[in-house]
Amino acid sequence: MDASERRPYLKEDMEIIRTPEEMQERARALRRAGGTVGFVPTMGFLHEGHLSLMRIVRERADTVIASIFLNPTQFGPNEDLDAYPRDFERDEVLCREAGVDILFYPTAENMYAADASVWVDEEALSSVLCGAARPGHFRGVCTIVAKLLNIVQPDFMVMGEKDAQQLRVLRRMVRDLHFPVEIVSGPTIREPDGLAMSSRNKYLSPAERAEAVCLFQALEKAKALFAEGECTAEKIKAALHEIITVTSGEVDYIEIVDDETLQPLELLQKPVLVALAVKFSGARLIDNTVLA
């Protein structure tokens, strides 16, 4: 198969905009023109999960805008910012293939003034799960997404369900700060064995990659137990622990929480989010499912 057969569509005229001022000016012009603008924010090193979100926008909007910005403020001092994978040339081609009209690709200097002193802090949903393990993470996410929304001014933004807590925190931010934007969610895209796609999967050794399917297997177990009528959170969590602990992965958390408040539940009586985070030597992976 030659390259043209493999890549049937390439958006030759995709614009790349590098400054917030230029992007904001372009966004204003798009709003004046009256079409619908959809937006996918990313940190780059794109995979099928991101591209599926871009395709959701392509189907619903007149203009597809994506951003690539590796946001330093959502990484803690001992986290993987420096090692986070980057490949802008590859990402650019993938965006063209996904039908992106405008790619916003700013620098950290352009996004944060050296003396920046305003932050967006969500205080309820951010304190649990990944927020407990990564203090300050959601403050960084909320701040950058608030900035991006002010710059891009989309009618709707599409986010992946894999980042379940992020999705809920950002919905709360949009509600509480009256951002005039709809948040649309896209399903988690998985590898053939069930591992959720993530830019961080690249860090796994071949042995860890093989074991990493345990997150998906654990979630499948939770679904099966729930379908059999098991409603005790402790019992379900214990079964999930058993699946993870036979691997080299270290459980960061396995939680069953209220799907809306993210508070832990003892009994599964209403929609619940089963969320897990597992650390391998190469990467900390997260995954989740909703049981309703």
Question: Residue numbers of the site for ligand PAF (CB under 6 A)?
Answer: 41-43, 71, 74, 141, 144-145, 163, 166
Q: Which is nearer to ligand PAF, 153 or 247 (CB)?
A: 153
99 alpha-carbon distance from chain centroid? 20
Catalytic-labelled residue, pool 50, 137, 178, 241: 50
Of 102 and 240, CB closest to ligand PAF: 102
> Are 226 and 232 contacting, i.e. CB atoms less than 8 angstroms apart?
no
In this structure, are residues 167 and 183 in contact, taking their beta carbons and an 8 Å threshold?
yes
Rg (CA), the chain: 20
Compute the distance between CA of residue 245 and CA of residue 287 in angstroms, rounded to an integer. 16
Rounded to whole angstroms, how far apart are CA atoms 61 and 255? 36
Structure tokens at 62: 């007149």
Find out whether 261 and 125 touch, Cβ atoms under 8 Å.
yes
How far apart, in whole angstroms, are the C-alpha atoms of residue 212 and residue 246? Answer: 11
Whichever of 132 and 167 has its CB closer to ligand PAF, that residue is 167
State residue 118 phi and psi, 5-degree precision.
-120, 130
Min dist. Cβ of residue 265 to ligand PAF (A): 26
In the residue annotation, 137 being an active-site residue is answered as no
* Shortest Å, Cβ 126 to ligand PAF: 13
CB of 75 to ligand PAF, least distance (A): 10
Q: Smallest distance, Å, CB 47 to ligand PAF?
A: 11
Closest to ligand PAF by CB, 138 or 226:
138
Active site residues: 50
